Structures are given as C-alpha cells and as structure tokens.
Structure 1
Amino acid sequence: MAQVTVWFDGACPLCTREIALMRLLDRRGRINFLDVSGDAPADCPVDRAELLARFHAREGDRMLSGAAAFAAMWRAIPLLRPLGELARVPLVLTGLEWLYRRFLRIRPRLQRWVAAR
C-alpha cells in the first residue's frame, strides 16, 4: 500500500536514474511513482509545468515540493527514513531547501551531462 505519491520527469535522464534507485530501495512498495513527462495524471492537484520544474510528492493529505517532497519520499524507505525524519527539524529542512534551490540552477547542465554519457 503506497503511503507517498511522487511525481517525476521521466524524460529527464537525471530524474530517471534517481527514481530507479528509489524504486530499488522501496522494497515495501510504499511509494507510487508517477511519470509526468507525458500528461499529468488527471487527479494531480499541481500544474504539469510546475511538476516538471520542481520535485513534488504527496504524503497522506499533504502536498509537498522541493526538499520537503524528498524528505517525504525518504521517510517511506526504511534505509533513508532517518534522513527523512531529520528533515522534520525546521532548520534542517531550511538547509536542504537552500541546497535544492542551488541544485535547480545547475540541473539543466547536469541533465545534459548525464544524457551525453
């Protein structure tokens, strides 16, 4: 039974590699991974362009984006759960979000680099 829904860009080589790793680690099937590289699912509460621009997840009734969405995904995976729980500390989450925003700036270059390999 999925506890977390994750929307990801299946056309992004960087994203697909990361999601492939998360699928391997999600041995209990607690994450529902949805590829939005085509059309966003009809029941998605977020615009497709926004889904492609930032990482999004739903944990229970809460819609999350950025570092908070990653933390929700980590909490669903036993091996990564401690990191996800640590991200519940506001100062830690603020730091992770700061890092995530810096990552978004270099993401296009990383995507090209990964695609070329």
Structure 2
Amino acid sequence: MTNSTDIPHEFVLFYDGQCPICQKEVAWLRWKNNQHKLGFQDINQADFDASVYGKTHDELMAEIHGVYADGRLIKGVEVFYAAYAAVGLGWIMAPTRWPLLKPLFNALYSIFARNRLSLGRLLSKKSCEKGNCRI
C-alpha cells in the first residue's frame, strides 16, 4: 500500500487500520474515490509519525483526524464531512453541519469513538479472533 502522505490529495483521512469498522469505511471510501482526491493514512503503520502533526498516537486513536493539503488538521465529525466531500458525497454528511443537528451528531460520534473497538469486536468477531482488535 502506498503511503498516502507521499501523494498530493485534497484531504488525507487518518484511520485506525486495526479497527474492523474503520477498515470497512475506508474500503468503501476507496471504492468511491474515483478522482483520487482523498488520501488514506493508517496511523498504525510503522513509518507514520503522529508528532509531524503535533499529535500523539493516542490522541489520533481517541478520535478520527484528517489533514487538508494546506496542512490544516481537523478532527471528529468534520473529518467525515471532508472525506465524503472529497469523493463527491458531501451531501450525505451535510446534515452533520446544520446548526440544530451538529451538537447531536458530535455527541453521537463522541460515544461511538469511545466504543468503536468494542462495537467492532461485536460486528466482526472473525477479525478480532485474528488479533486485529485491541484497546
């Protein structure tokens, strides 16, 4: 797999390649990434250095992050909007930006982020049996 930070993209999604849910989402986004505007970076790759972005690995594991081509680092629900927009599907995530719904989506994502590995184990026991799920 190519290290996405070596290829210019409008946006690079940082993801946990050991998370079954994250793996499925990234596979779907790769499939939709026809114009190659979205890059992908597994934060668990040996050559990835979180400190380049002023973060620790634990901070990146706590919630999703991504970086725009101009170096702006974002996190949380806004990352999903940026990733979907990069593949031409920003409209799907548009409600996450609506003032009345934004706090709800942020709260729901916060709960999901804290529990994603447990949810991943429930949804993908086969992957976890191979040792891909960790806390």
Q: TM-score, normalised to structure 2's length?
A: 0.73
Give me the whole-angstrom Cα distance separating, in 2, the residues matched to 1:68 and 1:43.
21
Aligned residue in 1 for 2:124:
115
Greater Cα radius of gyration, structure 1 or 2: 2
Give the letter aligned to residue 34 of structure 1. Answer: Q
Taking every aligned residue pair, what percent have the same amino acid on both sides? 26
Q: 1:66 aligns with which of 67, 73, 76?
A: 76
Secondary structure at the aligned position of 2:52 is classed as: coil
Secondary structure at the aligned position of 2:74 is classed as: strand
Runs of 4 or more above 4 Å deviation: none
- Structure 1: any 5+ residue segments left out of the alignment? none
Give me the whole-angstrom Cα distance separating, in 2, the residues matched to 1:44 and 1:105.
22
Deviations 1:60-117 (A, max 9, x none): 4421111111111111121x21134443434333222111012124323212123314
Secondary structure at the aligned position of 2:21 is classed as: helix
Give me the whole-angstrom Cα distance separating, in 1, the residues matched to 2:101 and 2:32.
23
Query: Would you say how many aligned residue pairs link Structure 1 and Structure 2?
Result: 116
Give the letter aligned to residue 55 of structure 1. Answer: I
Secondary structure at the aligned position of 1:28 is classed as: coil
Give me the whole-angstrom Cα distance separating, in 2, the residues matched to 1:98 and 1:67.
10
Deviations 1:28-53 (A, max 9, x none): 11111001113433633321111112
Aligned residue in 2 for 1:51:
60
CA RMSD of aligned residues (A): 2.0
Give me the whole-angstrom Cα distance separating, in 1, the residues matched to 2:12 and 2:99.
22
Give me the whole-angstrom Cα distance separating, in 2, the residues matched to 1:76 and 1:85.
13
Is the contact between residue 73 and residue 84 of structure 1 (CA under 8 Å) also seen in structure 2?
no
